[in-house]
Structure 1
Amino acid sequence: MSAYGANVAQRLDALETGPFHWRLLGLIGGGMFFDAFDNFLAGSVLGALVQQGLSDMHMNALFISMSFAGLTLGAWGAGVIGDRFGRRFSYQFNLLIFGLTSIAAAFAPSMTWLIVLRFIMGIGLGAEIVVGYSTLNEFMPAHARGRFASLLNLITNSSVLVSAACGFLIIPHFGWRWMFAIPGIGALVIWYLRKKMPESPRWLAAVGRHQEAREVVEKIEAQSLRRDAPLPVAPQEEEPGRLRDLFAARQLSRTLVGISVICISFTAMYAFVAWVPTFLVKQGFDITHSLLITSAMFAGGPAGSLISMAIADRIGRKWGLVIFSALGAMIGMAYPYVTHAVTIALVGFGVTTCIYVTSALGVACYVTELFPTRLRLRGVGLANAAGRAVNVGVPYVVAAMYALAGLLGVVSFIAALFALLVVILITLGVETRQRTLEEVQAQAGGDSGIDVKKPLNIGGM
């Protein structure tokens, strides 16, 4: 990290959160709300398409798989573009893609066209989650980073409940097409409002655009109160990030942890959440009751984010992930044995809550903290691309598990993944709670050669 970069980081971490931080949260959160709404409408829409005879289990699996193919491409592309051209360019570009294609999907003449459009839509959807969480965390001071990341995840995950509720209220009366039109229009509105969002000063400093970084930091400071400065980080020259740096000895374990957290979190989420309405229809519930039960279960989305917000800066990211992964495995194994609608909803709520706690702690915060600024979007993009790529095949695994052993097979698969995540985190994971991004980087096996105890003058840039 250059002296300018270290100074930028210290000045950002020395601030209390203020109007700028809340406005940034709102603008990033708006885009990610519609991103998640679009992502999770699949469950409601696909259940309705099956009932109407417009699709079947095979076509539904293809729809979900092509979604993940697009998400994979978008996640990796956002990482490369974001580290090379900036966070701002990347998040505006991807928002435009999924906004326009969502509107186009509302007019799709057949399931085949809907699948093609979903692939293109997925490119934008996959990019948003990579850029959104990383960008927010680069602006936030260390003392509030976990809380704001969880708040962003709460905004994002509330769309899961809203999407399910909209499916219940809209699909039976107005049809499934409006489920694509709503996030498409919303995304374009947010795209327009985001045009004045600043570039990440950490990224500007990392690529040598020091004057622009100074101007952004000064504007943020003008809207914020200063608190006690954190332990300063000594400067070191930083070279442009390269893909192979993610697999260097000093970074490898963190890259592997990031990939594992994303892959397992996404797989558990989509193996359960995206398939619930279809499972309920197969169990004999009509589409109206299926969507009503789903809405109650998906209240676990915002509940998980609220729990994450309460524990992220207390228990920490690593141990919070361990606790709720284990809890999710245990509750999930009870799900196949409940048959009444109320108990299905309650147990499903518990499973969904645990899934979204791991999402909030892991995807929203922990993984973005494991990489240095020059590699952050490449690292997060690689982890997300791996998670999306793995999930291209997950719909077929879920369909096979369901055909072989019913719901017990599906939840046993999810429980095994959670158990694997616990092992990986305990053996390789590091705790990032209450540490600046630069301190976390400095502790990566001495990778940066930074002495976090050595003082640095932060008076000027």
Structure 2
Amino acid sequence: MFRGGADGEAAGVGADASATNGTNATAADAAGGVTRGQIVARIERLPNNLMHVKARLLIGLATFFDGFDVIAIAATLPLLIAQWSLTPGQIGFLIAAPSVGQLVGALFFPWLAERYGRLHSIAWSAGIIGLMSIACGFAPSFELFALLRIVQGLGLGGELPVAATYINEVTRAHGRGRFVLLYEVVFPIGLLVSNGAGAWLVPRYGWEVMYFIGGVPIVLFFVLRKIIPESPRWLAEKNRMAEADRAVRAFESHARTPLPPVCDVASFDAMAARHPKRRVRDLLSGAYRGRTLAVWMLWATCGFIQYGLSTWLPTIYKTVYHAPLQLALNLAAGASVLGVVGSLVCAMVVDKVGRKPVINVSFVLCALSLALAGLLHAQSVYVVATLCAFAMGFLASGFITAYVYTPELYPTSVRAMGCGFGGAWLKIAAIFAPTLIAGTIGSGDLSSAFYALALVPFAAALTVHWLGIETKGKVLEQLEA
């Protein structure tokens, strides 16, 4: 790491590099320094290029397997129940226990990202996800399997908030929603692939194969930091201007056309000077209080529905509706297909209509689908599965929007922690949600569970509507309060 006096030398190199790309020298450059405003202005003029693609692919791989490993339990649970003769209480614990690790990870890894960098945090979380997934495949007992899943939860809880933070920070305001969401769509794709692979592989090769496949992210621990640069915004926030300059130049060097002049440096510097460095306690003070409450409700809703419903669907179809295992797995995979479709549609419209309308409409329609599932729960498994698939599709649209919306609401100094606290509420909800379903499995009457689930996204839509702010088309620094 280069700091102190090295900043001036590297800054001069950065000024020369900017000049070759058609930039205008600023007063700061003339003085031999690189400012935060210049770093932000250079990011904001960058079109998407090959380095953005590399970042999206590599970090997307971690996010893909985050989704893959989170939902792998849904495909493997019916066989685990039979192999270890699990009781309903043990089943609920097996689903909820990893959320304890995820809760800790959702707070620890964002803290690590604020202190040591976004890429260090993502690399370590990916390594834990992969290593523990492989270990799960060798677990000989329910107790050890559950323990390994808790440890794996550390990585699963920490990867998504920090990854969303990084992708937002290296992306300019214009088209940021679409760029981030097309990256984030790999999470529901991971859910889909996990369900689809589970439906085909588990009946043929056993439950262990899912966890061996889930070990792929361990590769990222070794290669991620060597291929893509650290977040320039984070480096600038830490006053490591030489490194921030090099990180921006890594993106600039992959531009396919000459870059336009750097604009608005003075205004971005003024923003930095006007807004003090924030601390974690500021998340619940002043202008950030309403934003934070909206974020917490948004993420808690996603956790409550995702873990309270999707992980149970194959078991519900098999136990309550007596569907064969293969049919139960296929129906669950169908719900994941609509999740991917909903996410892609959301990515196409989020920059046009805004973040809040997408979240609110998606959650209201999710609530309606769940209420109808409760009303029609006595119908065939196909009716219930169709309504659950629509509910998961609408949930995915709101859920994926949270990954572009949440980082936009906070300044760089606490952005990862803001996302982390949102992720923590997701995990808290995930710990308690499976118990709601477990209590209704025995009786076979799912109506009360579906009605309770429907109330949650409806309440979240109201909260985001009243307390959230709209962020589309704005530079991240403009959104600081």
- Normalised by the size of structure 1, how large is the TM-score? 0.91
Is 1:221 matched up with 2:261? no
Is 1:355 matched up with 2:395? yes
Change (3 A) 1:230 1:422: farther
Does the CA-based 8 Å contact 1:51-1:287 persist in structure 2? no
What is the aligned counterpart of 2:296 among 259, 262, 286?
259
Mapped to 1, the partners of 2:74 and 2:83 lie a distance apart of: 14
Residue 284 of structure 2: aligned partner: 247
Residue 10 of structure 2: aligned partner: none
Residue 415 of structure 1: aligned partner: 454
Residue 236 of structure 1: aligned partner: 272
Is 1:304 matched up with 2:342? yes
CA RMSD of aligned residues (A): 2.0
What is the aligned counterpart of 1:63 among 69, 91, 94?
94
What is the 5 A alignment of 1:375-454? 375-402=414-441, 406-441=445-480, 444=481
Q: Specify every segment of 5 or more residues in structure 1 that has no aligned partner in the other structure, as ranges.
A: 445-461
Does the CA-based 8 Å contact 2:71-2:194 persist in structure 1? yes
CA-to-partner distance for each residue in 1:293-332, whole Å, 9 max, x for gaps? 1111211221121011111101111111111111111122
Does the CA-based 8 Å contact 2:335-2:392 persist in structure 1? yes
Mapped to 1, the partners of 2:168 and 2:263 lie a distance apart of: 16
Does the CA-based 8 Å contact 2:271-2:477 persist in structure 1? no
What is the 5 A alignment of 1:18-29? 18-29=49-60
Does the CA-based 8 Å contact 1:149-1:360 persist in structure 2? no
Shift of 1:250: 2.5
Shift of 1:230: 7.2
Bigger drift between 393-402 and 408-417 goes to 393-402
Does the CA-based 8 Å contact 2:305-2:433 persist in structure 1? no
CA-to-partner distance for each residue in 1:149-207, whole Å, 9 max, x for gaps? 211221111111111111111111111011111011x1123333313221100000001
Change (3 A) 1:227 1:397: farther
Question: Percent identity, aligned pairs only?
Answer: 27
What is the 5 A alignment of 1:49-448? 49-184=80-215, 186-196=216-226, 197-224=228-255, 225=257, 226=259, 232-233=267-268, 234-237=270-273, 241-282=278-319, 283-336=321-374, 337=376, 339-362=379-402, 364-402=403-441, 406-441=445-480, 444=481
CA-to-partner distance for each residue in 1:256-291, whole Å, 9 max, x for gaps? 111111111221111111111111111211211111
Letter in 2 for 1:156: F
- Normalised by the size of structure 2, how large is the TM-score? 0.87
Letter in 1 for 2:78: G
Does the CA-based 8 Å contact 1:164-1:298 persist in structure 2? yes
Does the CA-based 8 Å contact 1:46-1:55 persist in structure 2? no
Change (3 A) 1:33 1:346: same
CA-to-partner distance for each residue in 1:332-382, whole Å, 9 max, x for gaps? 2222416445434432321111010011111x2111111100000111111
Shift of 1:405: 7.7
Shift of 1:228: 8.0
Mapped to 1, the partners of 2:396 and 2:170 lie a distance apart of: 24
Mapped to 2, the partners of 1:151 and 1:262 lie a distance apart of: 19
Does the CA-based 8 Å contact 1:101-1:121 persist in structure 2? yes
Bigger drift between 146-155 and 191-200 goes to 191-200
Does the CA-based 8 Å contact 1:293-1:341 persist in structure 2? no
Residue 452 of structure 1: aligned partner: none
Shift of 1:240: 5.3
CA-to-partner distance for each residue in 1:64-121, whole Å, 9 max, x for gaps? 2211000000010011111011111111111111111111110001011100000000
Mapped to 1, the partners of 2:381 and 2:434 lie a distance apart of: 25
Letter in 2 for 1:115: A
CA-to-partner distance for each residue in 1:361-410, whole Å, 9 max, x for gaps? 11x21111111000001111112112212321222123235557832222
Residue 454 of structure 1: aligned partner: none
Letter in 1 for 2:235: L
Does the CA-based 8 Å contact 1:368-1:376 persist in structure 2? yes
Does the CA-based 8 Å contact 2:123-2:220 persist in structure 1? no
Mapped to 1, the partners of 2:248 and 2:161 lie a distance apart of: 23
Does the CA-based 8 Å contact 1:261-1:367 persist in structure 2? no
Aligned residues: 439
Shift of 1:229: 6.5
Mapped to 1, the partners of 2:71 and 2:222 lie a distance apart of: 23
Mapped to 1, the partners of 2:461 and 2:209 lie a distance apart of: 40
Mapped to 2, the partners of 1:422 and 1:230 lie a distance apart of: 38
Mapped to 2, the partners of 1:384 and 1:57 lie a distance apart of: 27
Mapped to 2, the partners of 1:229 and 1:262 lie a distance apart of: 37
Mapped to 2, the partners of 1:149 and 1:57 lie a distance apart of: 39
CA-to-partner distance for each residue in 1:20-48, whole Å, 9 max, x for gaps? 11111101100111111001111111122
Does the CA-based 8 Å contact 1:48-1:287 persist in structure 2? no
Shift of 1:424: 0.6
